[in-house]
C-alpha cells in the first residue's frame, strides 16, 4: 500500500463522515476525544521509534486514527477498546490491515499476558502507544507498569498536568508521589504538547505526549519495594508539612523520639519536606526506618 493509496482517517471531514454514517454518539463516561491532525499522529509515531520488529499495544483506539499510523510502522498492533459501538467502525476503517488485532475489553480487567501471547510473534519487544482516556490515565498507566510485563517503552497522550507531574523533578510544584512511582521504573520526559483544537470533540484541558522508557533495573536499590513506596506516599500526604510531621501522623506521636533517632542516625533532616527528596533520598529514608516496619 503506497502513501497515495492510503485513505487517512485523521482529518476532520473523514472523521465526521465516519461518525455520521455509523450514527456514533460520544460517551462522556469513556472520555472519548478523537484526533484529527495527521501531523500530530506522525510525531507520536516518530516518538515511539517503531519498526517491523516491534509489537504495539494501544488502549482506546477510537475510530482508528492513530492505529492506522501504528499499523504501518510496526509488526502488529493489538488495540483494546471498551466501547462496543466502536468495534464495527474499527473493523471498517482498518479492514485493509492484516496486522491488526482488536480486543473489545477493559484493559484493566483482561488477562494481559494471555492476550499478548496471541501476537503472531509474541517474542518481539512490545511498546505501548496510546491516546489514554483522561479520566482513568493514572490507573491504566500504573497497572501496566506494575504488571511485570517488560514493555520496552510507553508513548502516551494524556492531560498535560498529569504528564508534567509524572516527568517532574524535585523542588517543583508538579513533583510528587506519582513522579516517583513512575520514575522508579521508567525514564520519563514530555515529548511535546498537543493543542485541544486537534480533537473531536475538543477536550477542556491541554494535552501532552509523555515518553517513558523502561530502565534496565529500578532507579534505586532498596531492600523492600513495598516499604519504599509506602513511606514515600506517607511523606507526601500533607505536602506542606515536614517529614517528621507526616511520619508522626502515620505512625503516632508517641513514636516521635524513635523517628527522630532513626532519622538522626541516617543523617536525614526531620524538618525537610518530601518535595525536596529525590529517589535516592527516599531509598535512604526507607532503609533508615526499616525498624519501624509493621
Which of 217, 210, 251 has its CA nearest to residue 234?
A: 251
b/e per residue 122-133 (b: at least 16 CB within 10 A): eebebbbbbbbb
User: Is 106 annotated as contributing to ligand binding?
Assistant: yes
Cα 260 from Cα 279, distance rounded (Å):
21
Instruction: Give the end-to-end CA distance of the chain in Å, rounded to a whole number.
Output: 61
Residue 153 has phi, psi (to 5 degrees) of -165, 165
| 62 annotated to bind ligand | no
If you compute the radius of gyration of the chain from its CA atoms, what whole number of angstroms results? 22
SS3 235: helix
The verdict on whether residue 225 carries a ligand-binding annotation is no
How far apart are the C-alpha atoms of 254 and 104, rounded to whole Å? 53
Q: Is 83 annotated as a binding residue?
A: no
Nearest CA to 194 out of 34, 83, 48 is that of: 34
- Report CA-CA distances (Å) from 251 to 35, 170, 234, 254: 48, 25, 10, 8
Q: Is 131 annotated as a binding residue?
A: yes
Report the alpha-carbon distance of residue 202 to residue 196 in Å, rounded.
Answer: 5
**Residues tagged in the binding site annotation for S-adenosyl-L-methionine:** 33, 35, 60, 81, 106, 131
**Residues tagged in the binding site annotation:** 33, 35, 60, 81, 106, 131
Amino acid at each position: 500500500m503506497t502513501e497515495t493509496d492510503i485513505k487517512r482517517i485523521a482529518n476532520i471531514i473523514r472523521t465526521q463522515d465516519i461518525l455520521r454514517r455509523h450514527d456514533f454518539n460520544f460517551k462522556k463516561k469513556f472520555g472519548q476525544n478523537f484526533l484529527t491532525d495527521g501531523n500530530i499522529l506522525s510525531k507520536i509515531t516518530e516518538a515511539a521509534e517503531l519498526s517491523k520488529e516491534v509489537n504495539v499495544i494501544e488502549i482506546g483506539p477510537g475510530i482508528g486514527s492513530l492505529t492506522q499510523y501504528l499499523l504501518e510502522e510496526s509488526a502488529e498492533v493489538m488495540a483494546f477498546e471498551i466501547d462496543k459501538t466502536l468495534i464495527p467502525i474499527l473493523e471498517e476503517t482498518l479492514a485493509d490491515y492484516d496486522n491488526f488485532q482488536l480486543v473489545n475489553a477493559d484493559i484493566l480487567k483482561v488477562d494481559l499476558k494471555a492476550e499478548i501471547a496471541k501476537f503472531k510473534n509474541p517474542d518481539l519487544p512490545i511498546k505501548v502507544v496510546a491516546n489514554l482516556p483522561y479520566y482513568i490515565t493514572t490507573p491504566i498507566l500504573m497497572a501496566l507498569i506494575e504488571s511485570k510485563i517488560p514493555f520496552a517503552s510507553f508513548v502516551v497522550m494524556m492531560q498535560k498536568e498529569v504528564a508534567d507531574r509524572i516527568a517532574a523533578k524535585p523542588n517543583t510544584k508538579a513533583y510528587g508521589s506519582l513522579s516517583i512511582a513512575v520514575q522508579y521504573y521508567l525514564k520519563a520526559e514530555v515529548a511535546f504538547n498537543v493543542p485541544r483544537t486537534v480533537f473531536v470533540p475538543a477536550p477542556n484541558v491541554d494535552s501532552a505526549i509523555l515518553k517513558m522508557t523502561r530502565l534496565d533495573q529500578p532507579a534505586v536499590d532498596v531492600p523492600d519495594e513495598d516499604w519504599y513506596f509506602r513511606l514515600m506516599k506517607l511523606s507526601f500526604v500533607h505536602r506542606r508539612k515536614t517529614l517528621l510531621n507526616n511520619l508522626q501522623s502515620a505512625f503516632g506521636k508517641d513514636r516521635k523520639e524513635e523517628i527522630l533517632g532513626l532519622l538522626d542516625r541516617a543523617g536525614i533532616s526531620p524538618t525537610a519536606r518530601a518535595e525536596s527528596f529525590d529517589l535516592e533520598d527516599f531509598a535512604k529514608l526507607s532503609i533508615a526506618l526499616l525498624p519501624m516496619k509493621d
